[in-house]
Chains A and B, each alone.
Chain A
Amino acid sequence: MNNLLSISLFLPELVLTATIIIAIIVDIFSVSNRTSKVSNYVIIGLLATLAAVFLTNHSPTTLFMDSLAFDPFASFIKSVVLVATLLIIIFTRYSNEFKGYHTGEYYALLCIMVFGMFLMASAIDLITVYLSIEVVSLMSFILAGYLKNNPRSNEASLKYVIYGAFSSGIMLYGLSIIFGLTGTTKFFAIRDAITTLDSSSNLALTLSTVFVLAGFGYKISAVPFHFWTPDVYEGSPTPITAYLSVAPKAAGFALMIRFFNQVFVDGDSLSTLGWYADVSFAWPEILGVISVVTMTMGNLVAIQQNSVKRMLAYSSIAHAGYMLMAFPTISSEGVFAVMIYLVMYLFMNLGAFFVLIYVAQKQGGENFEHFSGLGWRMPIVGIVMTIFMFSLTGLPPTVGFIGKFYLFVAVINAGSAFYWIAFFGAINTVVSLYFYMRVVKTMYLDGNPSEEIIVPPLSVTLILLVLAVPSVFFGIYWTPILNWVNNSLLFFVQI
């Protein structure tokens, strides 16, 4: 589609851009320290964007001279990102970490990051891929270091910058090799070019793909590209940690799905979403190994943590590992499972982080000892946190169980060659029980149960319920999510 026609389908991004501009202007003209006003505008803007996402209906096509795809899959990822962003803005308003900081531009930066993730969700051109990842990364660097007076936040930011630069360097190198091999930056043209390459270019193709994989691995924090994750997650303000663990990860997975699905796609089976694996490059196996190593490493190290925040950081690495399980299957069932898991993970992980924010404010710390006896002192918080922990472990009747269920189904259905991945996945689920249940154990079996009961304010209870009720409801009746994902599992493909 040409540029002029593309504009109409670019509506969500346009609304988002308007939101960013309004946020900046309102921030400039508002009295300092009254920054919640900015967040109000941003919330309205993001809701409008969400509405725009749902309103822009068109059959799958490309925008701006084949550099972006417009399809239900992209809209799905955009909606997930928007919901996560809205929740994070609400978290930020209740967090006291930002006390004494001017948070006006914080919201503007968040929106720019959302813009980057929108592009990531729909990129089908190597240049758009790189640019969108950079937009998201740069915003993440600033947001991670937003607490200027907090050395840990500074440290996190600096590590993130350097590590991010390193990864995107490798990735850019990989992208340029691909361009060198195929002479194009468009996914579909690359696909056509690859099929005609002779075997002498196999090493170069492998090299470039591994380099690109390193870039993706950094974004979704897969081992061995995960090293930045615990430090950055620990040092960043908690709402940002929660955000980084959900939204950019969703966008990263989206980009990864699109890249592997469309560049290595088999021309004959486009309609059935068959993936083209006939390069002399065993990437399904490699992704399988990466998945198993990622979840094992995430879970085992999480056991050792004394800080709940750091535990959740490692747990988010483990969950990236679970989601990677579905990649080697090269099936639409696998993509389906990842999409379901992203939605389920959104609720339970953000829920756990919000409880952490609230507890850290009330108890003055983020370690396990600050959770002791919490189940008795704050009954609502205790019950809700127990639901999230059950869900993260993957126990029924919670969303975590449904998400894992579909992942395992995808792996098992892919044939006996992948049983080992399911086997390690199952073992890891058991291991993860240990540290998730440790939170529950600390809340209910430790501490002094006779202390005075604290009832959280209504607003906090409401947020907790908004996250906890879907965590259970969709664990019992998940057909709505299923239908949504089913309708969204449609890519733009060019034959």
Chain B
Amino acid sequence: MTGDMLINYALGILFFPLISFIILIFVGKRLPRQGDVVGIGTIILTLILSLAMFGSMLLSHDPGFRHEASFTWIDLGDFEIRLGFLIDNITIIMLLVVSLISTMTHIFSTKYMEGDIRYSRYYAYLGLFTFSMNGIVLANNLVSLYIFWELVGVSSYLLIGHWFEKDSAADASKKAFLTNRVGDIGFFIGLMLVFTALGTFNYAEVFEGVAKGAISGTLLTFAGIGLFMGAVGKSSQFPLHIWLPDAMEGPTPVSALMHAATMVAAGVYLSVRLFPLFTPEALLFIAYTGGFTAIFAATIAITQNDIKKVLAYSTISQLGYMILAVGTGAYVAGFFHLVTHAMFKACLFYGSGSVIHAMHHALHNLKDHDTDPQDMRNMGGFKSKMPITYWTMLVATLAISGVPLFSGFLSKDAILAGTLSFASHHPQHFLLPVFGFSAALITAFYMFRLIFMTFHNQPKLPNVYSDIHESPKPMVFPLILLSSLSVFIFYTLPYFNPLSDHGWFMELIKAKDSMVPGSPSAHDIAEGMHHSHTLTMILSILVASLGILLSWAVYIKNSVSADNWSKRLDLYYNLSLNKYYFDENYNKYLYQPFLRLANRVSYIDWDLYDKYFINGFGHITKWLSSVTGRIDYDGLDQTIVDGLGRSMGKAGSSLKEIQTGRLQNYMLFALFGVIIIIIFQSF
């Protein structure tokens, strides 16, 4: 496929969802089926275009493929901003992931959201989200990236707050938006640092500038960390991770699309794209943020009882993995994990949606509105009632746990190999692989805990259990498709070795050298990873089986009692259950002081400044204008015009009076004007 054709395809991929948004938001309600056909139709078109691009990428098999097109947006002489597309293999794979998961969400939602009061608006927002997400992926410069970045934030806000009648949903959407803003400020600072130093927003030109040393040292480190702050916010990394669990208040298909597979991955995508400009110091910061988030979120996931909360913390933890990979230089592995994770995590979320849907219906039939349909303690034994959901979720769980034969094993293995090789070069950073491997252990444990609590054992609520049914076809189809895509074969082709670190993916995405002078080359990093491959494989299979075994012992065999252990580790258990009290402490030490400050400022602004200064200014302006008005009307009209008019009025009609009176004056003043100008001129 030629470059220009690709650009046309990309335009279609970008704008079809936007068209759907515009149609649905204005006339959606009046369309048949409330317009969901429009949303599904456009997203399928998008998917077809993405598949075509993907196919052409596989056929041409060119790791260095790259095509760029841009146009001038703002031209103010020496200040010019150009917007455009950058299409390379990363873009194409990412576009396919976004459109695929988005298509699945559209299909899944036809049943899941059936009968919702704002059904058409929901589909409209899905279109808006897909548009903005594809915009992020296609951008070839930081400005349009930033614009679409914020648009994604807006659509996330709208979709989390879809059921805004619920206070918790409204609060969650606000929290998500504001927390993201904190990261975005860092992003903006980084963006401006880069622009001030290099005078361009275009990726390639920025990298060129970095390579030339036009920006370097501490400034570049700060710019890199600033840009990375955007990723911290959007990818929900510590310490801005607090919004993602709350975002689960949104509809579950939305959680699958945005808060598992695509939107939260935008931060990782950003770090991958900008990898060449990060200095070693910035990369270290990134690695520790990611590694710490991975283990930190995993320890919270262990104790959560809400099925979606477990998945949310697991997402944070997995995103931490990807960020960790970027930090250790193995950013291709990070991107690989992004893709595999998108498939199995979306599958897990659809699975949880399917379970919640079933629970919800069963509870609804019992007229029980108090039992929480998302609490795993109310489930158990669903395996026989929902076989498809069970088996597909099991496949996805095996993938996320890093069991061989599944996709997660490949990508996680690559990341862990990266950390191991990094630590072997820098022994003082031994904590990074420790973070990685222990998080892998805990992940296997809590994911199987989820499976066992939900699908195995005796049903906890027998009367609810008896009414549980498998979900309808449009909900089951995405589960089957995505769980199949969690099998290794789709990523290792044309090879069939499930343990190999080769495959089309690794062949098409080749790491680029960092542009920062003095950084290790991509080749060295790959070499190191290759060396530690075998050791990593053995270790990771070991920790995964250990985690699964532990989980089996605790939740199936009951040979280890979870209750006893939680009592014995009381302090830790409570910390984990309460998410380390982050929300409470943020509230106490950040929000409340800030609110008090805001109150003070508002007092000064409103009661002092506004009342006396602004209003005073307003009074002066009003007075001035009334004076001018009076000169124009009272002075001219009343005194001179009417005065003249009155003297003539005796002779003529009132109409004539106004006409002649005014005009003479008009001309008189124009003449005065001419004379004043001439006098002014002559001196």
User: Which residues from chain B contact A300 at a C-beta distance below 8 Å?
Assistant: 624-625, 628-629
CB distance from A108 to the nearest CB of B (A): 28
17 A-B residue pairs with Cβ-Cβ distance under 8 Å, sorted by A, are A159-B662, A159-B663, A163-B663, A166-B670, A167-B670, A206-B681, A214-B674, A223-B673, A227-B662, A227-B665, A301-B625, A301-B629, A303-B621, A303-B629, A304-B626, A479-B75, A482-B75
Known contacts A210-B681, A211-B674; A158/B625 CB under 8 A: no
Partner of B677, one of A158, A227, A286: A286
B659 contacts A159, CB within 8 Å? yes
Minimum distance in angstroms from A396 CB to a CB of chain B? 12
- Cβ of B623 to closest chain A Cβ, rounded Å: 11
Contact residue among B626, B629, B659, B678 (Cβ-Cβ distance under 8 Å from A155): B659
Chain A: CB-nearest residue to B72: A479
B681 touches A231 (CB 8 A): no
How many angstroms from the CA of A323 to the CA of B205 in the assembled complex? 39
The answer for the CA separation of A297 and B670 in the assembled complex, in Å, is 15
A225 adjacent to B678 (CB under 8 Å): no
Q: Check: A455 CB closer than 8 A to any chain B CB.
A: no
Determine whether the beta carbon of B621 is less than 8 Å from that of A282: no
Interface contact B621-A228, CB-CB below 8 Å: no
A281 CB within 8 Å of chain B:
yes
CA distance A227 to B664 in the complex (A): 11
**A-B pairs under 8 A by CB, number:** 83
Q: Which residues of A contact B682 (CB under 8 A)?
A: 203, 206
Assess whether B5 is interfacial by the CB under 8 Å rule: no
Q: Give 10 new A-B contacts, CB below 8 A, not counting A170-B670, A224-B673.
A: A159-B663, A214-B674, A224-B670, A227-B665, A281-B681, A286-B677, A286-B681, A303-B625, A431-B621, A479-B72
| A474 contacts partner chain B, Cβ-Cβ < 8 Å | no
Bound Cα distance A183, B677 (Å): 25
* A286 cross-chain contacts in B, Cβ below 8 A: 677, 680-681
Nearest CB in chain B to that of A486: its residue = B75
Q: Which of B624-683 contact A (CB under 8 A)?
A: 624-626, 628-629, 632-633, 655, 658-659, 662-663, 665-667, 669-670, 672-674, 677-678, 680-682
Q: Does B74 contact A (CB under 8 A)?
A: yes
Interface string of A300-326 (1 = CB under 8 A from B): 110110000000000000000000000
Residue B565 interfacial (CB < 8 Å): no
Contact status of A231 and B662, CB under 8 A, knowing A282-B681, A301-B632:
yes
A41 part of interface (Cβ distance < 8 Å)? no
Q: Is B589 an interface residue (CB 8 A)?
A: no
Q: Which of B624, B633, B670 contacts A225 (CB 8 A)?
A: B670
A228 to B667, CA, bound (A): 9
Whether, in the assembled complex, A98 has its beta carbon less than 8 Å from a beta carbon of chain B, the answer is no
The interface bits of chain A over 375-416 (1 if a CB of B lies within 8 angstroms of the residue's CB, else 0) are: 000000000000000000000000000000000010000000
Chain B residues lying within 8 Å of A482, measured Cβ to Cβ, are 75
Contact between B670 and A227, CB atoms less than 8 A apart: yes
Chain A: minimal CB distance from B328 (Å): 41
Query: Is A210 in contact with B625, judged by CB distance below 8 angstroms?
Result: no
A163, B666: Cβ atoms closer than 8 Å: yes
Q: How close is A419's CB to chain B, nearest CB, in angstroms?
A: 19
CA–CA, A210 to B677, complex, Å? 7
Q: Quick one: given A304-B629, A477-B73, are A228 and B678 in contact (CB under 8 Å)?
A: no
Residue A489 lies at the interface, judged by CB distance under 8 Å to chain B = no
Are A170 and B674 in contact, with the CB atoms below 8 A? yes
Q: How far is the CA of A477 from the CA of B82 in the complex (A)?
A: 11
A297: chain B residues within 8 A (beta carbon):
628
* Shortest Cβ distance from residue A224 to the other chain B in the assembled complex, whole angstroms: 3
Q: Which residues on the B side are within 8 Å of A228 (C-beta)? A: 666
The residues of B with any CB-CB pair to A shorter than 8 Å are 71-76, 621-622, 624-626, 628-629, 632-633, 655, 658-659, 662-663, 665-667, 669-670, 672-674, 677-678, 680-682
Is A434 located at the chain interface by the 8 A CB criterion?
Answer: yes
A282-B681, A479-B75, A482-B75 given; A224·B662 CB < 8 A: no
- A434 near B663: Cβ-Cβ < 8 Å: no
A227 in contact with B681 given A297-B628, A301-B629, A477-B73 (CB within 8 Å): no
Interface positions, chain A 397-443, Cβ under 8 Å from B, are 409, 431, 434
Residues of B within 8 A of A303 (CB): 621-622, 625, 629
The docked-state distance in angstroms from the alpha carbon of A218 to that of B669 is 12
Smallest Cβ-Cβ distance to A160: which chain B residue: B663
Contact residues in A for B669 (Cβ distance below 8 Å): 224, 227
Most B CB contacts (10 A, CB to CB) among A166, A167, A211 go to A166
Q: Which residues of A contact B629 (CB under 8 A)?
A: 300-301, 303-304
Question: Is A227's CB under 8 angstroms from B72's CB?
Answer: no
> Which A261-281 residues sit within 8 Å CB-CB of chain B?
281
Closest Cβ of chain B to A485, distance in Å, is: 12
Whether, in the assembled complex, A207 has its beta carbon less than 8 Å from a beta carbon of chain B, the answer is yes
Q: Tell me which residues across on chain B come within 8 A of A218, comparing CB atoms.
A: 670
The yes or no answer to A162 lying at the interface (CB within 8 A) is yes
Pick the residue among B71, B632, B655, B678 that contacts A206 (CB under 8 A): B678
For residue A151, CB closer than 8 A to chain B, the reply is yes
Residues of chain A lying within 8 A (CB to CB) of residue B624: 300
Chain A, Cβ-Cβ closest to B678: A210
Cβ contacts under 8 Å, A170 to chain B? 670, 674
Complex CA–CA separation, A281 to B659 (angstroms):
36
Shortest Cβ gap from B265 to chain A (Å): 28
Which residues of chain B are within 8 angstroms of A155 by Cβ–Cβ distance?
A: 655, 658-659
Chain A residue contacts of B659, Cβ below 8 A: 155, 158-159
Shortest C-beta distance, B614 to chain A (Å), equals: 12
| CA distance in complex: A210, B672 (Å) | 12
CB distance from B71 to the nearest CB of A (A): 8
Separation in Å of the B129 CB from the closest CB of chain A?
A: 21
CA distance A170 to B674 in the complex (A): 10
Q: Which of A151, A207, A282, A301 is the one whose CB lies under 8 Å from B628?
A: A301
By a CB distance below 8 angstroms, the chain A residues around B666 are 159, 163, 227-228
Give Cα distance in the complex from A163 to B626, angstroms: 27
B75 contact set on A, CB distance < 8 A: 479, 482
A151 to B682, CA, bound (A): 44
Residues of A within 8 A of B678 (CB): 206-207, 210
Name the CB-closest residue of B to A293.
B673
What are the residues of chain A within 8 A of B71 when measuring CB–CB? 479
CA distance A434 to B663 in the complex (A): 30
A227 to B632, CA, bound (A): 10
Report the Cα distance A223→B670, complex, angstroms: 8
Bound-state Cα–Cα, A477 to B144, Å: 13
B73 CB contacts on chain A under 8 angstroms: 477, 479
B668 smallest CB distance to A (angstroms): 9
Contact between chains at B621 and A210 (CB < 8 Å): no
Measured CB to CB, the closest approach of chain A to B8, in angstroms, equals 20
* Bound complex: CA A214 to CA B149 (Å): 54
Residue of B nearest to A203 (CB): B682
In whole angstroms, what is the CA distance A170 to B667 when docked? Answer: 11
Taking the closest CB of chain A, its distance from the CB of B78, in whole angstroms, is 11
Distance between Cα atoms of A300 and B625 in the complex (Å): 5
A170, A203, A303, most chain B CB atoms within 10 A:
A303
Q: How far is the CB of A173 from chain B (nearest CB, A)?
A: 10
Per the bound structure, the CA–CA distance linking A225 and B682 in Å amounts to 21
Q: B655 contacts A166, CB within 8 Å?
A: no
The distance in angstroms between the C-alpha atoms of A431 and B622, with both chains bound, is 10
Residue numbers in B under 8 Å from A151 (CB-CB): 655
| Residues of A contacting B625 in the complex (Cβ-Cβ under 8 angstroms) | 300-301, 303-304, 431
In the complex, A286→B667 CA distance in Å? 20
Residues of A within 8 A of B677 (CB): 210, 213, 286
CB distance from A435 to the nearest CB of B (A): 9
User: Which residues does chain B contribute within 8 Å of A225, judged by CB atoms?
Assistant: 670, 673
Which residue of chain A has its CB nearest to the CB of B71? A479
Residues of A within 8 A of B632 (CB): 301
Other-chain contact of A214, B633, B658, B670, B680 (Cβ < 8 Å): B670
Q: B-facing mask of A152-178, CB < 8 A → 1, else 0?
A: 000100110011001100100000000
Contacts of B665 in A (CB 8 A): 227
Given A151-B655, A170-B674, A210-B674, A163 contacting B681 (CB threshold 8 A):
no
